Amino acid sequence: MVAHKVSEKTIRRLSHYAMCLRRARRDGLAVITSGFLSHRCGISSAAVRKDLAAYGDFGKQGSGYDVEVLLRNIEEILGTCAPPPVIVVGVGNIGRALLASGLDGTGGYRYTAAFDSDPAMEGVGISGITVMPAREIASACSDLNDTIAIVAVSPGRGQEAVDSLIRAGCRSILSFNLEPLEIPPGVSLRYIEVSTELDVLTHSMKNRVENA
């Protein structure tokens, strides 16, 4: 299959389609329509059809799409057929909640290890994962280059955690820490930004009031 150069916006849409298709499969559906995906994902029918036409021969408009085939093709584009392992660095409130919640429903991702720099956390078990000392990240993970690290350390400690992950060979980081982080080229860093989402919602709220 030809590797597609796909924009982040498209990746997000494909990721949403994949999520809906997994749900459809779980609900026993074998064939779905573009309208189904459109409705479930909150994306216009036209955009869904355009995506499906652009990224392969996924089925015929009108007669519907085979859920298994469509999902497999989308996962191939995303590269998530064999999802990389996910480790958690920082097992405070959020890190612990992530581990306890697990990654069911995400298409096969799973937590494989957890680390914390607090010696008191060493050896603590959370959902079958035993917390290891942060200094052991490099030795404990066989292939950090192909691992996603979720960073959820104490406020102000994000950069330190990211630096040591990168030194150990990690190239894919998802940060729950609020602080902006510096990374060298070749490393992918994404943020979960509750604060920014709250700001976006507040801005909409104030605009509604002003325009009411």
Q: State whether residue 114 is helix, strand or coil.
A: strand
Q: Give, in degrees to the nearest 5, the angle at Cα 16 between 15 and 19.
A: 90
Task: Answer yes or no whether residue 103 interacts with its own copies by CB under 8 A.
Answer: yes
Judged by CB under 8 A, which of 30, 46, 100, 138 binds its own copies?
Answer: 100
Residue 171: CB minimum distance to its own copies, A: 7
Q: Which two tokens stand for residue 99?
A: 């581990």
Q: Give, in degrees to the nearest 5, the angle at Cα 187 between 151 and 82.
A: 75
Residue 71: CB minimum distance to its own copies, A: 13
DSSP, residue by residue, 70-121: HHHHHHHHHT-SSPPPEEEE--SHHHHHHHHH--TTSSS--EEEEEES-GGG
- The interface with its own copies within residues 111-130 (CB under 8 A) comprises none
Task: Answer yes or no whether residue 94 interacts with its own copies by CB under 8 A.
Answer: yes
Task: Answer yes or no whether residue 44 interacts with its own copies by CB under 8 A.
Answer: no
- Other beta carbons within 10 angstroms of residue 23's beta carbon come to 13
Residue 136: CB minimum distance to its own copies, A: 23
Residue 100: CB minimum distance to its own copies, A: 4
- The interface with its own copies within residues 24-43 (CB under 8 A) comprises 40-42
Please check whether residue 156 is in contact with residue 138, taking contact to mean a CB–CB distance below 8 angstroms: no
Alpha carbon distances (Å) from 6 to 11, 43, 54, 83? 7, 18, 11, 18
Beta bridge partners of 164: none
Task: Answer yes or no whether residue 1 interacts with its own copies by CB under 8 A.
Answer: no
The residue (of 57 and 104) whose beta carbon lies closer to its own copies is 104
The residue (of 140 and 174) whose beta carbon lies closer to its own copies is 174
Judged by CB under 8 A, which of 12, 50, 135, 167 binds its own copies?
Answer: 12
CA–CA separation, 176 vs 94, rounded Å?
Answer: 8
- Residue whose C-alpha is closest to residue 21's, from 61, 50, 48: 48
- The interface with its own copies within residues 133-192 (CB under 8 A) comprises 146, 148, 150, 155, 171-174, 178-180, 182, 186, 188, 190, 192
- The interface with its own copies within residues 46-75 (CB under 8 A) comprises none
The residue (of 23 and 135) whose beta carbon lies closer to its own copies is 23
Judged by CB under 8 A, which of 70, 89, 96, 137 binds its own copies?
Answer: 96
